[in-house]
Amino acid sequence: MISYAYGMNLRDLKYLVAVADNKHFGKAAKISHVSQPALSMQVQKLESELGVQLLERTNKTVMVTEIGKDIVERARKIIQETEEIKAIAKTHQDPFAGRIRLGAFPTLAPYFFPTIVPKISKALPKLKLFLVEEKTEQLLDQLKNGTLDAAIIALPVHGEQLQTLPLFEDEFLLAVHAKHHLAKRKRVDQSNLEGEPLLLLEEGHCLRNHALVVCSLMQTSEVQDFRATSLETLRQMVASSIGITLIPKIAVQKHKDISYIPFTAPAPSRTIVLVWRKTSARGACFEKIGQLIHAIYMV
């Protein structure tokens, strides 16, 4: 067991972070695979050793104190560095073995993971992928705090500590009802969309931000009284002739009531990249994964 000042150990720091993340001792104990009394006792012992209150406890909730927030963030860094040490050792043994926690955002993951996972598993049979689907902001947070190893997201990516590898361009298509006046066109341009209202995703989806840029360029406007939670909701709204929307090419699925129309050049698109921490010991593995993905989508 790795020891620190005041007799702290890595286990106690992990317990503290688990409670801070879940705001609940029972949930923290469950994910830590320990009994709730044992976890609570270790956190109390940590508070006693440090001489400060880290958590405010009530019958129903747990709050992190101000000093506790600072210590939790430092604990995250210690845990992350420890994991990096383990990863360095494993990578030296075999850089393409072990577990990789890989994330992607909701407007990509359902259409992307089923294609790439079998290819990666075949090419790197010793690698075990643990897949995560979250919005881009959450993926970046998890990447920075070490709970995620790599993420597949769309540009732009901000953070000097992050390494990015371009994978492919995902072109946007216009999705309209099969009886819409634009449905028979082979391509559409800015003038065709002027004044057309678009159905968009709710706040927090990076695809919404990309679509808003297209709206601005093409002098279209968003339908103000509607926010979809998923691409599938948007698809069904178009199929019901309620509006039109933008669909990434990777997510196109044939539907008898929907026409997908490409844009004239230069067509709007999103750049999909693989992102990981520059300090990660798995850089060579991520580059190999990136090469495999690039080969799939650049044919």
Predicted confidence (pLDDT) at residue 2 exceeds the cutoff of 50: no
Q: What is the pLDDT of residue 119?
A: 94
DSSP E strands, the chain: 55-57, 62-64, 98-104, 127-133, 150-154, 162-177, 197-198, 221-222, 245-248, 258-262, 269-277
The predicted-structure confidence for 191-250, as pLDDT tens digits, reads as follows 787 777 788 876 656 777 666 666 665 556 555 556 677 889 889 989 998 888 889 999
The predicted-structure confidence for 68-97, as pLDDT tens digits, reads as follows 999 999 999 899 888 878 877 776 678 898
Tell me the residue range of the domain where 48 lies.
Answer: 5-89
Indicate the residue among 72, 89, 106 that finishes a domain: 89
3-class SS at 147? coil
Q: How large is the C-alpha radius of gyration of the chain?
A: 23
Please choose, from the candidates 199, 255, 247, 251, the residue with its C-alpha nearest in 3D space to the C-alpha of residue 222: 199
Residues 80 and 101 in one domain: no
Q: What is the pLDDT of residue 1?
A: 41
Q: Please confirm whether the linkage preceding 268 is cis (ω < 30° from 0).
A: no
The CATH number of residue 47's host domain is: 1.10.10.10
Residues 100 and 84 in one domain: no
Q: Tell me which of 2 and 212 has the higher pLDDT.
A: 212
Q: What residue type is assigned to position 294 of the chain? A: H
The CATH number of residue 173's host domain is: 3.40.190.290
Paired strand residues for 151 = 103, 275
Indicate the residue among 60, 89, 118 that finishes a domain: 89
Residues 14 and 131 in one domain: no
Residues 77 and 123 in one domain: no
Q: What is the pLDDT of residue 3?
A: 42
Indicate the residue among 64, 89, 114 that finishes a domain: 89
Residues 71 and 101 in one domain: no
Can you read off the two tokens belonging to residue 270? 């999103």
Work out how many domains the chain is built from and give that number. 2
pTM, entire model: 0.69
d(CA 261, CA 247): 10
Paired strand residues for 169 = 271
Residues 138 and 63 in one domain: no
Map tokens 């492919």 to a residue: 168
Give the DSSP letter of residue 268. P
List the alpha helices (DSSP H) in 133-270.
Answer: 136-145, 190-193, 206-217, 231-239
φ, ψ (nearest 5 deg) of residue 219 = 55, 40
Please choose, from the candidates 115, 95, 242, the residue with its C-alpha nearest in 3D space to the C-alpha of residue 177: 242
Residues 76 and 135 in one domain: no
Predicted confidence (pLDDT) at residue 150 exceeds the cutoff of 90: yes
Residues 55 and 180 in one domain: no
